[in-house]
Chains A and B, each alone.
Chain A
């Protein structure tokens, strides 16, 4: 796997490069601003991007903007975005095109080295990984007209785990239930959220998107 890193903090950028190298992930380029990120995208055609939300010059959401732009240039390009703080609208924005291959994690998750690398691999494989803290925040902010009210608590729990990027088997292990039961919950979620029958990976992304936008 070949990755381009965009992170303005030198220490962190080099640390990330070293970490990925030790995992046999090739770092095609490590840049410190949004323009160079788009340049490296054209030059190296990486398999995935690892991007800090805040980049120079204004340290607002230049990284996020660049990631969205990169995905319009290369549809479905896997992008894992790292953020200093939780902002659920950012995650929703990335998922907007419905193509999957998107991750949104708090920066400090890189400390759990194995889990972080695992998350990057899942995103590169087209999966969706949303930080548990985003999920927690969304749960306390439910509004009255929320379509997710149609879901049972258990179904919401399953949807939350889907958003964190767990596979059906992973969800089954966490909740100590059978794969078949997980499948049933997920079918219920799809039908309650009126998601059209199509290839299931795509529907999974749409379900997570509904969850984030509610």
Chain B
């Protein structure tokens, strides 16, 4: 091993150890939560247990979400999350929580991670401490003879000096073990926490398709109101101001100036209004369909951009709009910040989800700023029951992944 090699390994091992120590913390929380869940199950006949279901579910989801994000970041691949939203009266929330197949997988994860994550974290923490302990035995064995962590009693100098050899062994282990161990716990979490295929199928569909259709009608109504009502009013104002301006040709200069200014303001308002309407439902989608609109975005991106759009039927307007703006925002962001030289946009349907991925070969390490463009996309996507993921390990590649239920 060269010096550089040791250094990289050391740093990677430090990162993995940090990951595992967090695993330890989450593992202890998972164990406590698992105990609480068991207690709630035992108390179900009294009704107290049922009342505890929604808060326990929310808390478990928070732990599991945290672990999904951590595992996704470590493994560099997304761990999808799919929950039925907990809403409405207590009885309804209880029913939703208990009927969600993800809840049972989460509880299984609580137990498995509670045991495996805690053990792995303990090991990662203990190995370097053991190494330090063994290394330093020659320094203090005379002060506290007979005690040590080495598994045999230290009562002579040769025994004490053997500590150095054993310390070296521990040091080597703490350099080599954490990286694969962290990967192993992350994989274990991924297997338990990603939704099974049939759950993806069974969820939603009919109700969601109806909701999307209602949403689409609503979008079209708003768009029409803005175009046909508000815009026409403004155009009428603008026209009257235009005529006023002409009538004022002979009037004193301040009056003319006011008319011109009013005209400009109304004209700006109209231009802004058209922009707003465009963000509600861009006409390019109606004209060219989602694939054409995405191709237009790719063509106008300053970063060279390949697209792969699978063949699927027209999706609800709200879904196409959200996908369109997600791609637009991702392409804008990567052009501004990533330093990428090429990008790829992929659209495909997976069971009843539209999956949009934008990947670049930039420097990675991107984070979503609160209030930033990606946060806006996430709001839009979440409103449709979908989710947004940003996977951007240092050094890249960065992937923005959006999953939208599309009612197919």
Contacts and interface: CB of A to CB of B under 8 A. Distances in A.
Given A59-B228, A84-B228, A111 B300 contact: no
Contacts of B243: 18-19, 22, 113
A189 B246 CA distance: 39
A108 B238 contact: yes
Interface stretch (B11-19, B99-107, B270-278, B375-383): B270-278
Contact of B239 (A59, A113, A140, A143): A113
A111 B233 CA distance: 12
15 contacts: A9-B228, A11-B233, A15-B236, A22-B243, A84-B231, A85-B227, A87-B287, A107-B235, A108-B235, A111-B241, A111-B267, A112-B242, A113-B239, A113-B245, A140-B300
A141 interface: yes
B277 A111 contact: no
Nearest to A9: B232
Contacts of B274: 84-85
Contacts of A143: 299
A152 interface: no
Given A9-B232, A85-B227, A140-B300, A110 B238 contact: yes
B240 interface: yes
B283 A110 contact: no
Which 10 pairs between the two chains have the least Cβ-Cβ distance? A111-B238, A113-B242, A9-B232, A84-B227, A108-B270, A11-B236, A111-B242, A12-B236, A107-B235, A15-B239
Interface in B233-255: 233-236, 238-243, 245-246
Contacts of B227: 54, 59, 84-85
A110 B242 contact: yes
Interface string A101-144: 00000011011111010000000000000000000000011010
Interface residues of A, number: 27
Interface string A76-110: 00000000111101000000000000000001101
Interface of A: 8-9, 11-12, 15-16, 18-19, 22, 54, 59, 84-87, 89, 107-108, 110-114, 116, 140-141, 143
B278 A85 contact: yes
A9 B236 contact: yes
A59 B229 CA distance: 12
B62 interface: no
Contacts of B270: 108
Interface in B95-137: none
B282 to A, nearest CB: 10
A140 B270 CA distance: 22
Q: Is the interface on chain B under 10, 10 to 19, 20 to 34, or 35 or more residues?
A: 20 to 34
B65 to A, nearest CB: 40
Nearest to B244: A113
Nearest to B278: A85
Interface of B: 224, 227-228, 231-236, 238-243, 245-246, 263, 266-267, 270-271, 274, 277-278, 283, 287, 296, 299-300
A16 B231 contact: no
Contacts of A18: 243
A89 B296 CA distance: 15
A12 to B, nearest CB: 5
Contacts of B278: 85
A110 B232 CA distance: 11
Contacts of A84: 227-228, 231, 274, 277
Contacts of B300: 140-141
A196 B353 CA distance: 51
Contacts of A89: 287
Contacts of B246: 113-114
A111 B239 contact: yes
Nearest to A89: B287
A86 B283 contact: yes
A86 B286 CA distance: 12
A96 to B, nearest CB: 16
Contacts of A11: 232-233, 236
Nearest to A84: B227
Contacts of A8: 228
